[in-house]
Chain A
Amino acid sequence: MLSFLGRSVIQKTITLFFVSVVSFLIIHLAPGEPSQIDPLNPKFTPEIVERMRKEFHLDRPLHIQYLLFYRDLFTGKTVSWRDNLPVLGKIWDRFLNSLPLFIVGTLLTWTFSFPVGIRSAIQRDGPYDKSMTFLAYLLISIPGFFFAYILIILVVTELHVPVIGMESFGVTSESKIVQIMDRIWHLVLPSFLGATGGIAVLSRYVRSQMLEIIGQDYVRTARAKGLAPERVYYHHALRNALLPFVTMFGLILPGLIGGSVIIESIFSWPGMGRMAYEAILARDYPVILTLNFITAVLVLLGTLISDLLYMLVDPRIRL
Chain B
Amino acid sequence: METRPNHAQETIVDDAYMPPSLSPWRETWRLLRQNSMALIGLVIFMFFFGIALTGMLLTSGDAPILDPAQIRLQEKLRPPLARPNLETLQPAEVPELGIYLLGTDDLGRDVFARMLQGAWVSLTVGFVAVAIAVAIGIFLGGLSGYYGQEYIQVIQIVMVLIAGVALWLAATHAWPGAVFLAIGGAAGWLLYRRYAGGSKKSATPDALRWLSRPIMSVDTLIMRLVDIMLCFPSFFLILTVVALLPPSLYNIMVVIGLTSWMGTTRFVRAEFLSLREQDFVAAARALGISDMRIIFRHIMPNAVAPVLVSATLGIASAMLTEAGLSFLGFGVPPPHATWGNILSDGKDFIFDAPWLTFAPGIVILVVVLAFNLFGEGLRDILNPKLRKRT
Q: How large is the interface on B (under 10, 10 to 19, 20 to 34, 35 or more residues)?
A: 35 or more
A290, B103: Cα distance in complex, Å: 47
List, sorted by A's number, 29 A–B pairs whose CB atoms are closer than 8 Å. Answer: A11-B224, A14-B224, A15-B224, A16-B231, A27-B240, A30-B245, A32-B244, A125-B388, A133-B37, A137-B372, A141-B364, A141-B368, A143-B323, A143-B340, A146-B343, A146-B361, A146-B364, A149-B350, A149-B357, A153-B350, A211-B386, A215-B385, A281-B243, A288-B240, A295-B231, A296-B231, A299-B231, A300-B231, A303-B227
A317 interfacial contact with B, CB 8 Å: no
Query: Which of B232, B246, B388 has the most chain A CB atoms closer than 10 A to its own CB?
Result: B232
Partner of A261, one of B239, B368, B388: B239
Query: Measuring CB to CB, which residues of chain B are less than 8 angstroms from any residue of chain A?
Result: 37, 224, 227-228, 230-233, 235-236, 239-241, 243-246, 316, 320, 323-324, 327-328, 340, 343-344, 347, 350, 357, 361, 364-365, 368-369, 372-373, 376, 379, 383, 385-386, 388
Residues of B contacting A146 with CB < 8 Å? 323, 343, 347, 357, 361, 364-365
A100 interfacial contact with B, CB 8 Å: no
A258 interfacial contact with B, CB 8 Å: yes
Judged by DSSP, the binding face of A is helix
A270, B373: Cα distance in complex, Å: 35
4 closest cross-chain pairs (CB), A and B: A30-B244, A296-B231, A141-B368, A141-B369
Stretch at the interface among A18-26, A80-88, A160-168, A170-178: A18-26
The answer to whether B228 and A15 touch across the interface, beta carbons within 8 angstroms, is: yes
Contacting residues of chain A (140-199) with chain B, CB-CB under 8 angstroms: 140-146, 149, 153
A142, B227: Cα distance in complex, Å: 30
Contacting residues of chain A (209-228) with chain B, CB-CB under 8 angstroms: 211-212, 215
Contacting residues of chain A (279-311) with chain B, CB-CB under 8 angstroms: 280-281, 288, 292, 295-296, 299-300, 303
CB-based nearest A residue for B361: A146
CB-based nearest B residue for A130: B37
Residues of A contacting B369 with CB < 8 Å? 137-138, 141
A63, B356: Cα distance in complex, Å: 49
Judged by DSSP, the binding face of B is helix
A215, B383: Cα distance in complex, Å: 12
The answer to whether A145 and B347 touch across the interface, beta carbons within 8 angstroms, is: yes
A229, B316: Cα distance in complex, Å: 37
The answer to whether A15 and B376 touch across the interface, beta carbons within 8 angstroms, is: no
Contacting residues of chain A (199-244) with chain B, CB-CB under 8 angstroms: 204, 208, 211-212, 215
Partner of A141, one of B316, B328, B357, B386: B316
A142, B343: Cα distance in complex, Å: 12
A215-B243 CB under 8 A given contacts A137-B373, A262-B328: no
Partner of A23, one of B230, B232, B343: B232
A56 interfacial contact with B, CB 8 Å: no
